[in-house]
């Protein structure tokens, strides 16, 4: 069957259309088995996006191709390239056979031959190169085909820095209906994936009712769990990087303004597409960083996001969607990183860039709220993945190479896991966020303590915020047994090692010297890499106070006589993003100087620290508090003291020292 319409021959081809759609469905194959519903899928998508409630695409400049041959598809792409350079939106949809050959993904037109697919199929790079030459503000590529996840293999081959440099300020989203080795299933109603997509386009599936336009990423996140159509083992893949601001794949059929359905036309589209990111130098740098993933440094990413947010400030309404698009893209790009929490770190980098501006506008607060929600969701997913990994291999937290380095790094990993367990528990119990991870945090904690209990030892100040978060969450959740075990193990090890812990983020040479020191245990030592006063010791003492471990600890505190501990309270927790906070109060105390017992620690907290914390956060601020809490776990040289609950003094008569 020949094309129904072609942009190259359209009667309304004068001038570039703002939104152009090329929708292809192929049933009638000459050399491979035919399909039953691909043409129906292409028609439905074309109708929904050109004339339906989700339409923004010009029907006269768009094209619907039914069972076309390779020449038909190439001709249509050529016509679009000639007539619609610089379009606002270009969407390419294909339903039909797809195949993977020699590491490249091919779409199959009606005359495709699997024995000569390289010359009879349409390689995904053909589409990608056309997009780069077309230079739309946004491009969406959707493939409902078997093995379509293999298209990701071709992305880096095409989206190279030298190609992106020609037109860096554009956005691209690629949606594949199935993983690299999976079939794409169809039934009488059409492709299962496309059926789900159409539910969002006709309004049957509510994505949101707050935005006039929907992004493809917004829709994709709703598809797996909408409960309407079971995809079984078919796993959709999504990849995107949007540098144009608001994501405008289609009109939102559920959006209402002032109680009335909102009507949008081509003329309103650019109002919702932000120009604030169209800075070629910055856009090119973002692309270079993105193409270098999954490798990244948190500090470098924060620096990039910081400049990006500074640019966004000229268009405040676009900040939530713009920040989310960039953060989502980079989070997906680090998904294969060996660090389970790498996606969470990306989100935290965006929070860190946004947080200094939170008081400027409600849009910035909304953007931070979206990132915090993503951190909660990401932490839940990471912990669930970790739990499954431990079930499969009980020593999954050990480094792959093993060796003496794990004497230092394994305790850090254990502290990190417990810290994120505490974060997730507090975010759900105290702040109302939901991770939807279907994970029993108490059971995971018990699993960690059973397998890695002997690795709950004090090695460095980096552990302090993680253990504080876990202990506070345990107090709120009633996990007294688990918390008391953690406090007991930490105190015993801290005491045995004479209160010696490493400073934050030490170089490898200091780690080696420290491990040697722990073995030798000389009575006197003034090594420069040791940290004093210790916030980790403060956390241990606060934990003892929260869980009334006076009798277990007071009798041996004399062995740590003159050991300093400290509490740093910043002037503002909205400045928790700073690499080095310059303003605030540092309350330093030491055992043997008005502090002889756990109850004296409680008194120090109540008399000297609590008032400072309350003055810094006079009212509950969910976004600021959870942002600061997340940053304390990513940048572990700061304590989120605002989470510490009331620690009442015990009557002295209740304390019995053996």
The helix (run of H) or strand (run of E) holding residue 444 is: helix 441-452
The helix (run of H) or strand (run of E) holding residue 99 is: strand 98-101
Residue 267: its pLDDT value, please? 46
Torsion of CA 485, 489, 491, 495, to 10 degrees: 160
Burial of 307 from C-beta contacts in 10 A (0-12 / 13-18 / 19+): middle
Residue 435: its pLDDT value, please? 75
442-477 pLDDT, tens digit each = 999 999 999 999 999 999 999 999 999 999 999 999
Q: Cβ(300)–Cβ(349) under 8 Å?
A: no
Which pair of structure tokens corresponds to residue 658? 């053996």
pLDDT band at 12 (very low <50, low <70, confident <90, very high): very low
Mean pLDDT of 598-602: 94
pLDDT at 240 over 90: no
Residue 104: its pLDDT value, please? 85
Residue 477: its pLDDT value, please? 93
- Could you give the CA distance from residue 389 to residue 252 in angstroms, rounded to a whole number? 40
371-397 pLDDT, tens digit each = 999 999 999 989 999 999 999 998 888
Closest CA to 19 of 193, 191, 270, 300: 270
DSSP string computed for 244-313: SSS--SEE-TT-EETTEE----HHHHHHHS--TT--HHHHHHHHHHHHTTT---HHHHHHHHHHHHHHHT
Beta carbons within 10 angstroms of residue 1's beta carbon: 15
- Strand ranges across the sheet with 89-95: 63-66, 19-25, 89-95, 138-144, 171-176, 237-241
- Could you give the CA distance from residue 245 to residue 272 in angstroms, rounded to a whole number? 8
- Could you give the CA distance from residue 598 to residue 620 in angstroms, rounded to a whole number? 29
Better pLDDT: 276 or 181: 181
Residue 224: its pLDDT value, please? 60
Beta carbons within 10 angstroms of residue 188's beta carbon: 7
Residue 10: its pLDDT value, please? 35
Closest CA to 1 of 29, 40, 35: 29
Backbone torsion region of residue 584, taken as left when φ is above 0, otherwise alpha when ψ lies between -120 and 50, otherwise beta? left
Q: Cβ(50)–Cβ(23) under 8 Å?
A: no
Backbone torsion region of residue 499, taken as left when φ is above 0, otherwise alpha when ψ lies between -120 and 50, otherwise beta? left
End-to-end CA distance of the chain: 92
Which pair of structure tokens corresponds to residue 34? 């035919």
Long-range pairs for 648-654 at CB < 8 Å and ≥24 separation? 648/602, 649/599, 649/602, 649/603, 649/606, 650/548, 650/550, 650/599, 650/602, 652/599, 654/550
The listed range with the strongest mean pLDDT (203-217, 250-264, 596-610) is 596-610
Work out the widest C-alpha separation in the chain, in whole angstroms.
96
- Could you give the CA distance from residue 57 to residue 62 in angstroms, rounded to a whole number? 7
Angle of CA points 290, 148, 378, to nearest 5°: 50
Which pair of structure tokens corresponds to residue 430? 């105290």
Residue 289: its pLDDT value, please? 82
pLDDT at 233 over 80: no
- Grouping H, G, I as helix, E, B as strand and the rest as coil, residue 237 is strand
Which pair of structure tokens corresponds to residue 425? 């528990």
471-497 pLDDT, tens digit each = 999 999 999 999 999 999 999 999 999
Angle of CA points 593, 595, 596, to nearest 5°: 110
pLDDT at 188 over 90: no
- pTM of this structure: 0.78
Q: Cβ(183)–Cβ(146) under 8 Å?
A: yes
Angle of CA points 632, 635, 637, to nearest 5°: 80
């Amino acid at each position: 069957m020949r094309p129904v319409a072609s942009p190259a021959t359209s009667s309304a081809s004068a001038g570039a259309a703002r939104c152009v759609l090329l929708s292809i469905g192929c049933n009638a194959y000459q050399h491979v088995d035919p399909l039953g519903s691909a043409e129906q899928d292409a028609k439905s998508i074309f109708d929904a996006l050109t004339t339906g409630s989700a339409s923004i695409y010009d029907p006269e400049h768009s094209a619907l191709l039914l069972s076309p041959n390779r020449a038909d598809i190439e001709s249509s792409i050529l016509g679009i390239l000639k007539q619609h350079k610089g379009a606002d939106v270009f969407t390419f949809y294909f339903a039909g056979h797809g195949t993977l050959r020699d590491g490249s993904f091919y779409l199959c037109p009606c005359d495709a031959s699997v024995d000569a697919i390289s010359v009879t199929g349409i390689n995904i790079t053909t589409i990608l190169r056309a997009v780069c030459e077309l230079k739309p503000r946004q491009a969406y590529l959707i493939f409902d085909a078997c093995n379509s996840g293999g298209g990701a293999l071709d992305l880096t081959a095409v989206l190279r820095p030298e190609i992106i440099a020609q037109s860096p300020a554009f956005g691209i989203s690629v949606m594949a209906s199935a993983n690299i080795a999976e079939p794409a299933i169809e039934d009488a109603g059409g492709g299962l994936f496309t059926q789900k997509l159409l539910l969002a386009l006709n309004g049957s599936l509510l994505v949101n009712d707050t935005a006039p336009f929907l992004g493809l990423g917004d829709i994709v996140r709703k598809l797996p769990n909408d409960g309407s159509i079971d995809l079984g083992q078919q796993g959709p893949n999504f990849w995107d990087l949007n540098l144009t601001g608001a994501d405008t794949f289609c009109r939102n059929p559920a959006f209402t303004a002032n109680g009335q359905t909102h009507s949008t036309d081509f003329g309103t589209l650019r109002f919702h597409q932000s120009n604030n990111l169209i800075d070629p130098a910055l856009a090119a740098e973002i692309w270079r960083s993105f193409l270098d993933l999954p490798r990244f440094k948190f500090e470098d990413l924060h620096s990039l996001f910081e400049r990006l947010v500074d640019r966004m400030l000229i268009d405040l309404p676009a900040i939530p969607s713009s920040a989310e698009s960039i953060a989502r893209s980079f989070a997906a790009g680090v998904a294969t990183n060996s660090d389970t929490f790498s996606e969470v770190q990306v989100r935290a980098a965006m929070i860190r860039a946004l947080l200094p501006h939170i008081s400027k506008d409600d849009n910035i607060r909304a953007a931070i709220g979206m990132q915090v929600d993503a951190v909660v969701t990401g932490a839940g997913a990471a912990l669930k993945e970790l739990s499954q990994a431990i079930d499969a291999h009980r020593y999954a937290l050990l480094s792959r190479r093993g060796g003496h380095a794990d004497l230092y790094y394994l305790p850090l990993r254990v502290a990190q896991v417990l810290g994120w367990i505490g974060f997730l528990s507090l975010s759900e119990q105290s702040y109302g966020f939901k991770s939807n991870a279907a994970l029993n945090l108490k059971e995971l904690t018990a699993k960690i303590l059973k397998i890695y209990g002997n690795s709950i030892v004090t090695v460095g100040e980096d552990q302090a915020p993680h253990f504080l978060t876990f202990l506070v969450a345990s107090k709120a959740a009633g996990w007294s047994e688990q918390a008391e075990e953690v406090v007991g193990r930490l105190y015993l090890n801290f005491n045995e090692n004479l209160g010696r812990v490493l400073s934050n983020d030490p170089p490898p040479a200091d780690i080696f010297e420290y491990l040697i020191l722990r073995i030798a245990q000389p009575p006197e030592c003034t090594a420069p890499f040791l940290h004093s006063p210790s916030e980790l010791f403060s956390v241990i003492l606060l934990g003892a106070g929260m869980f009334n471990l006076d009798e277990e600890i007071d009798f041996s505190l004399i062995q740590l006589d003159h050991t300093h501990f400290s509490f740093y309270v910043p002037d503002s927790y909205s400045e928790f993003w700073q690499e080095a906070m310059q303003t605030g109060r540092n309350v330093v105390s030491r055992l043997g100087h008005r502090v002889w017992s756990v109850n004296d620690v409680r008194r120090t907290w109540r008399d000297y620290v609590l008032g400072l914390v309350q003055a810094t956060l006079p009212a509950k601020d969910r976004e600021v508090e959870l942002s600061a809490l997340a940053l304390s776990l990513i940048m572990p040289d700061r304590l989120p003291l605002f989470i510490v609950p009331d620690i009442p003094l015990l009557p002295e008569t209740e304390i019995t020292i053996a």
